């Protein structure tokens, strides 16, 4: 890609300025969503230590896109600045290295840099013997990252808000969204019962409601019938019995057809409205919204794929799920006990923890990889999960691109051994996954204090992919030797319900 001197805004400012805590973050988001490339990494719910930070931005100064084997650096208007046919992870390393902080580095965990996603379909660039299903029918890029010169960071624990970065298109969009939201909050009359104003319904989300009213089950299709999915589970068990793999993650995908949208602005507001429905139905600590121009990624992920800050790496794989009823403590206690007692769920998590340890060991300092939490139960909006924490320290001379190449895609959404599991997925799933089970989040360019760069990336599960006039919802689970095909089918149906509830539907 040459010298990459063409990157607009490649010199990033790390200055931070505290601003007034927004009365309604959803309203600020809805106003930002009117702009190009709106991004929101949204700690909407979940355990408090995980749901501390959120970050919003819009109007990237440049966009990096991979499609059909070509990676392009484009200006905001779409003009191609540079392009390459090389491995996208190497191009990403080069682009990150070309961006440097000037005048101080951000002290907060989020700041200017790259916000976007890596799709699961990049797997063959990491593991050359991995394969993908032949059908690619979701028209989203394999990689999309916007470069943002300024971001709004929310610290939910301290209830403090900061604008981090320098002047530029993102800064202007954030400033205007904050101003308009503050003016609106001041204009709302306090209710007679108290003096406080709660979150208000944003008029900018109404464009989606009209489409929802005309939806019904006839608008929903699936890429695998119940019989086909049960057959895929049975075939996966045969591979496990033959010793090919210990575990493989299989998924199926719902597609919801929407009414046509005539203009780009209307489509953006439609996706923003849908995201607000999703975060209400299924709030999560690693939720995200990304407007990528030709579509959007709307995620309510509970799972951290990779965190890298100051050379310290952490990953938190999830295996094991049980329902949670907010008003029924006796039921919840029974579900927690059942989850902890489940040998199947325990075995799945142990296998994935071993895989993650091995992956991190490729790029971590010798002896630094450790399992700091082997297994714990965490409560989310509607479910309990068992989660493990694996940590390490990045080896000197390695960077965030090396970390991605060593660990992507996440083991919890592939299986073990990883490469053979991906080959089986390619055989048994009829369509490519696109962003589903890839990674969504933030990539921080290298700096003097963090020469490896940094990242905060979530596994793209519980994720809606919006493209054209359709929304795609994919759900899966880990298949092991004693998996029951009918039970696995029912599990995927349960997981889809909260997602489809955001559309007013049920599977």
Instruction: Yes or no: say if 341 and 334 are a contact pair by the CB < 8 Å rule.
Output: no
Q: Any catalytic annotation for residue 319?
A: yes
Candidate list 82, 94, 319, 391, residue with the active-site label: 319
Q: Give the dihedral sign, CA 12/16/22/25.
A: positive
Q: Give the span between the Cα atoms of 136 and 307, in whole angstroms.
A: 30
Q: 45: pLDDT confidence band, cut at 50, 70 and 90?
A: confident
- 55: pLDDT strictly greater than 80: yes
What residue segments make up the domains of the chain, in order of their start?
A: 12-184+210-501
Instruction: Yes or no: say if 70 and 87 are a contact pair by the CB < 8 Å rule.
Output: no
Q: Any catalytic annotation for residue 189?
A: no
Tens digits of residue pLDDT in 383-429:
889 999 999 999 999 999 999 999 999 999 999 999 999 999 999 99
Q: Is 496 exposed, middle or buried (0-12, 13-18, 19+ CB in 10 A)?
A: buried
Candidate list 303, 348, 391, 450, residue with the active-site label: 303
Q: Give the dihedral sign, CA 54/60/61/65.
A: positive
Q: How many CA atoms lie within 13 A of 321 on its CB side?
A: 19
Q: 212: pLDDT confidence band, cut at 50, 70 and 90?
A: very low
Tokens found for residue 502? 């955001």
Instruction: Give the β-pairing of 100-102 and 11-13.
Output: parallel
Q: Give the span between the Cα atoms of 15 and 12, in whole angstroms.
A: 9
Provide mean pLDDT across the span 275-286. 90
Tokens found for residue 396? 């000197």
- 155: pLDDT strictly greater than 80: yes
For 12-184+210-501, which CATH superfamily applies? Anthranilate synthase (3.60.120.10)
Q: Give the span between the Cα atoms of 454 and 445, in whole angstroms.
A: 7
Residue pointed to by tokens 């349960």: 494
Please state the φ and ψ torsions of residue 62, each to the nearest 5 degrees.
-160, 160
């Amino acid at each position: 890609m040459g010298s990459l001197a063409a990157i607009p805004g490649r010199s990033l400012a790390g200055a931070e300025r505290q601003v007034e805590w927004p009365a309604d973050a959803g309203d600020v988001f809805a106003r930002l969503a009117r702009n190009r490339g709106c991004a929101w990494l949204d700690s909407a719910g979940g355990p408090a230590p995980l749901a501390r930070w959120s970050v919003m931005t819009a109007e990237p100064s440049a966009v990096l896109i991979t499609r059909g084997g070509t990676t392009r650096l484009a200006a905001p208007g779409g003009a191609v600045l540079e392009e390459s046919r090389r491995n996208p992870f190497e191009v990403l390393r080069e682009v990150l290295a070309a961006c440097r902080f000037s005048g101080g580095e951000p002290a907060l965990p989020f700041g200017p840099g790259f916000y976007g996603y890596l799709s699961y379909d990049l797997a063959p660039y990491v593991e050359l013997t991995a394969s993908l299903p032949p059908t690619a029918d979701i028209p989203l890029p394999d990689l999309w990252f916007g470069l943002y010169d300024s971001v709004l960071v929310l610290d939910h624990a301290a209830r403090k808000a900061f604008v981090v970065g320098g002047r530029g298109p993102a800064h202007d969009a954030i400033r205007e969204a904050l101003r308009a939201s503050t003016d609106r909050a001041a204009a709302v009359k306090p209710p007679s019962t108290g003096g406080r104003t709660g979150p208000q319904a944003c008029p900018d989300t109404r464009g989606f409601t009209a489409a929802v009213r005309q939806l019904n089950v006839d608008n929903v299709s699936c890429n695998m019938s119940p019989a086909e999915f049960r057959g895929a589970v049975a075939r996966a068990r045969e591979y496990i019995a033959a010793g090919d793999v210990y575990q493989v993650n299989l998924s199926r995908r719902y597609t919801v057809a929407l009414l046509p949208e005539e203009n780009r602005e209307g489509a953006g507001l439609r996706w923003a409205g849908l995201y607000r429905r999703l975060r209400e139905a299924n709030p999560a600590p690693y939720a995200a919204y990304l407007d990528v121009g030709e579509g959007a990624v709307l995620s309510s992920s509970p799972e951290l794929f990779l965190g890298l800050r100051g050379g310290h790496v952490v990953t938190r794989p999830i295996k094991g799920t049980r329902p949670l009823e907010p008003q029924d403590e006796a039921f919840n206690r029974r579900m927690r006990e059942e989850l902890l007692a489940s040998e199947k769920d325990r075995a799945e998590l142990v296998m994935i923890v071993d895989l993650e340890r091995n992956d991190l060991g490729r790029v971590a300092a010798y002896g630094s990889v450790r399992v700091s939490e082997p297994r714990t139960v965490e409560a989310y909006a509607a479910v309990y999960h068992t989660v493990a924490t694996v940590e390490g320290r990045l080896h000197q001379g390695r960077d965030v691109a090396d970390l991605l190449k060593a660990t992507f895609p996440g083991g919890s959404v592939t299986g073990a051994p990883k490469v053979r599991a991906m080959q089986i997925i390619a055989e048994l799933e009829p369509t490519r996954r696109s962003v589903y089970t890839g990674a969504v989040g933030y990539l921080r360019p290298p700096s003097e204090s963090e020469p490896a760069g940094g990242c905060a990336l979530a596994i793209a599960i519980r994720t809606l992919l919006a493209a054209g006039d359709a929304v795609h919802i994919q759900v899966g689970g880990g298949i092991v030797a004693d998996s029951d095909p009918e039970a696995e089918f029912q599990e995927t149906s349960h997981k889809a319900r909260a997602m489809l509830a955001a559309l007013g539907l049920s599977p």
